[in-house]
Amino acid sequence: MAARKTRVRRPLATALALFAVVAPLASSVAASPAASAAEAAGTVDPTRAGAQWIDENTVAWDLPDAAGTRHALVYAADGRLTVRDGELAGEGRRIRLTPAEGGLTGAQREKYPHLKGYAAFTVDPRDRGQARRALTGQVVAVREDTGGKLLDATGVQTQGVLDDLYSAAATEAKLGPRFRHGRTSLAVWAPTAQSVALELGGRTVPMRRDDAGGVWSVSGPRAWEGKPYRYVVKVWAPSVQKIVTNKVTDPYSTALTADSARSLAVDLDDPALAPAGWDRLRKPRATPLRDAQIQELHIRDFSVEDRTSRHPGEYRAFTDKASDGMKHLRKLAQAGTSYVHLLPASDFGIVPERRDDQAKPDCDLTAPAPDSEEQQACVAEAAVKDGYNWGYDPVHYTVPEGSYASDPDGTRRTVEFRQMVQGLNGSGLRTVMDVVYNHTVASGQADESVLDKIVPGYYHRLLADGTVANSTCCANTATENAMMGKLVVDSVVTWAKEYKVDGFRFDLMGHHPKANIVAVRKALDALTPKKDGVDGKKVVLYGEGWNFGEVADDARFVQATQKNMAGTGVATFSDRSRDAVRGGSPFDEDPGVQGFASGLYTDPNASKANGTKAEQKARLLHYQDLLKVGLTGNLASYTFTDSAGRRVKGSQVDYNGSPAGYAAAPGDALSYADAHDNESLYDALAFKLPAGTSPADRARMQVLAMATATLAQGPSLSQAGSDLLRSKSLDRNSFDSGDWFNAIHWSCRDGNGFGRGLPVAADNKAKWSYAKPLLASTALNPGCREIDGASAAYRDLVKLRASEPAFSLDTAAEVQSRLSFPLSGTDAETPGVVTMRVGDLVVVFNATPDAQEQRVPGPKDAAYRLHPVQAKGADATVKASSYERKTGTFTVPARTVAVFERR
């Protein structure tokens, strides 16, 4: 993930307790001296929401034995239920509750597993039918003794009952702006609102509520099209404990004014928003997910320092065919790269969208020394208001970000995003969008909050006390709730249809239910060229299937995690090979922990964190087993002999206590050696390779590390610029580190970004003592020979992978029968070398600083030669690889991956 890291009385008298359900709760009832201060500070707190109304007739509440006490929901349209001296005060109405024998039903526990230990209460039959009215105001759950003394009071979470009452109709509703028969219609889901109006063109127009779905709508003339608008929503807001009137933009916005101030009533089918040729756009041939070779790219990084680009930092930079960046992308496409994955490009907060409002570092960043603190201090000072952020701070999910447009105030962002897609498609590349539906930049009544101002307490995942979970860094959304799940599906379909996006990468997908991602897949599969202008079955999906936070281990639902998504056609990032290649983990205190491609055991550095020689060897051999599993596509069922000589399945190889193999078929797991998160691959190797390693050898290890992903079964991803040895000057989390540390340098004459000063202190200061001597060393600055050579060698590998069917096996059974590791677990297995046979190919990954011989058993008449792509390719060193037929020996130079084909 790429994360932003800047960034609740009086007792009810006996007579009152026996009132009819519509009787008011009098605020003048005398106070009971029995109410203790401890109770007031503990369980009597309606500002918290410890009870959960899960369906129309059931409340779940984490209470002790309910015997001898009475329970109710008290609701007030004016939102003035409060606590005074531990007692409830205010005018309210009651819904009586009866303890349910046996607690929650089996079906309820299955739907809400995190509530399985809660007591269950059933709404009294006499009081049923009040839910819709109660939900438009404040709701408090109370527990009293038989004499009416208040024992507990808490606010109530209402997501479950809202879904129970409204979702059947609401999920079928068309929300946002619509244009038909010369009329403009707007609709918003706001079932708890007391009123909703449309603010447009200097007028406030009342909206009509549909009681079945809780949707408010209004229709007006076509003249409304293009006009700024907001909704005026009067609603109970738990975050501030009062009724508020919010003026808020549309969650289903299709266009915005600058800085998301207003929604625009825009018809995306308007021909004026289509760039020339949009309706005739010819896409490159669709590549199946299992064969996808992906370049991960930040829109601003791509061109902001490219002197040959006419539109630096903009969507339109991808239309600059003669720029160095576009030339490079075309070379990658010609080699076999199939997709460009764009970091988030939907509307996000943090960055001022107008260029005149964006700050710039007020210093000469080129003057200080390469290991100075000055650059990062200057960048950090401007970061709050500069034009840079990764974009993982979503505000509106279905509108292009304005800061990448030539004019953020209107529809240029729509036109120019489409031009970007055209430019990439015209260069032979399909487009993937990084989407961030797992959180929003803000919640509650904050300025950039949208969803929570319309249906407070619904769209975000709440913890047991009613506070918003933020395990993803910001306000977690509750994609398990029907209307948040619908928003995800509707948004993805809009991007696919209206912007012709070819794939989606889900940020922190493990925080989504599996069912939600499967629903996205189903909705896309239903799109057809004839009906929708796009073949949805060819749209690829993948995401981060990490398992953590309040949803971990399927605590609330079956998550879209690595193990759960196997077999769905949606891939997940595999961290197994990444960590084996680099060494350690991205969070090691000492960044010098080595791995397969960074010299562990075979070329040790000075770090004591690597352990003894024997420990290094054992860990390296285990890393090699992780790599073998990764090369199969992380298949759970794949059986092989591990480095200890045991016959194991991929699922039996340990990865930090979890199975290394989790995939059901090639394409379930996505391989990578680096991405935008954590240090770039070059920077990780800078920390890990011995300090004296030459730039030439560093470049070779970079290519070898990337090869472990490129030549694996299934899709692979590389951070854009990694083939050019891209560095961020050792920054491990450059989400807000500005152009200085993040920009890609397409020309080798501009270097690779290394030595631009110490990385930003906020996320890197703890590593400065390791970073400073590296940045000061000129030995780590590669020249054109290393940069261009690494890039050309990488393109050869991509071309080789794309041209050989052996790297594109369809099923786990094919992988099992055609792919093997002939030296694994034998005396001939060499630490630092992995040898793989796949079809008629033999691949040798030699990560050691010495040439290696690999004697592979096989038919006596077998004859191999270096694959023609490498034999005629750019890497002179690999051409020294050889095969000796008489002994079946492959010889491969140091720090080289060589692919041999059978003649």
List, by residue number, the catalytic residues: 507, 544
Which 3 state secondary structure label does DSSP give 580?
A: helix
Which residue intervals of 4-74 are DSSP H helices? Answer: 14-17, 37-41
DSSP collapsed to 3 states, 443-498 = CCCCCCCCHHHHCCCCCECECCCCCECCCCCCEEECCCCHHHHHHHHHHHHHHHHH
Let me know: does 71 contact 141? Beta carbons within 8 Å: yes
Beta strands 669-672; 571-573: pairing state: parallel
Residue type, position 497, single letter = K
Largest CA distance in the chain: 102
Point out which residues pair with 263 in neighbouring strands. 229, 256
Buried b (16+ CB within 10 A) or exposed e, 137-159: bbbbbbbbeeebbbbbbbbbbbb
Helix (H) or strand (E) run with residue 766 in it: none
Q: In what order do the strands lie in the sheet with 819-820?
A: 819-820, 833-838, 841-846, 896-902, 864-866
- Please report the beta strands in 158-284, taking only residues with DSSP state E, as ranges in sequence order: 176-180, 183-189, 195-200, 203-206, 208-210, 215-221, 228-237, 242-248, 263-264
For residue 770, give both structure tokens.
Answer: 């390791």
Measured in residues, the chain has a length of: 903
**What are residue 13's phi and psi, to 5 degrees?**
-65, 155
Q: How many helices (H) and strands (E) does the chain have?
A: 24, 41
C-alpha distances out from residue 108 to 130, 156, 556, Å? 21, 17, 12
State how far Cα 362 lies from the chain centre.
Answer: 33
Q: State the Cα–Cα distance between residues 792 and 617, nearest whole angstrom.
A: 32
State how far Cα 708 lies from the chain centre.
Answer: 23
Q: State the Cα–Cα distance between residues 664 and 666, nearest whole angstrom.
A: 7
In sequence order, the 6+-apart residues with CB closer than 8 A to the CB of 292 are 338, 339, 503, 540, 715, 716
Q: State the Cα–Cα distance between residues 537 and 517, nearest whole angstrom.
A: 14
Torsion of the alpha carbons at 25, 27, 30 and 36, rounded to the nearest 10 = 90
With both helix axes pointing from N to C terminus, report the angle between 768-776 and 681-688 in degrees, rounded to the nearest 10: 90
With both helix axes pointing from N to C terminus, report the angle between 784-803 and 695-710 in degrees, rounded to the nearest 10: 20
Q: State the Cα–Cα distance between residues 708 and 242, nearest whole angstrom.
A: 57
C-alpha distances out from residue 854 to 157, 492, 820, Å? 64, 49, 14
Let me know: does 566 contact 663? Beta carbons within 8 Å: yes
In sequence order, the 6+-apart residues with CB closer than 8 A to the CB of 116 are 104, 109
Q: State the Cα–Cα distance between residues 810 and 290, nearest whole angstrom.
A: 8
Which residue intervals of 748-838 are DSSP H helices? Answer: 761-764, 768-776, 784-803, 812-818
Point out which residues pair with 216 in neighbouring strands. 188, 209
For residue 131, give both structure tokens.
Answer: 């839910």
Which residue intervals of 765-898 are DSSP H helices? Answer: 768-776, 784-803, 812-818, 868-871
Q: State the Cα–Cα distance between residues 800 and 814, nearest whole angstrom.
A: 20
Q: State the Cα–Cα distance between residues 335 and 392, nearest whole angstrom.
A: 31
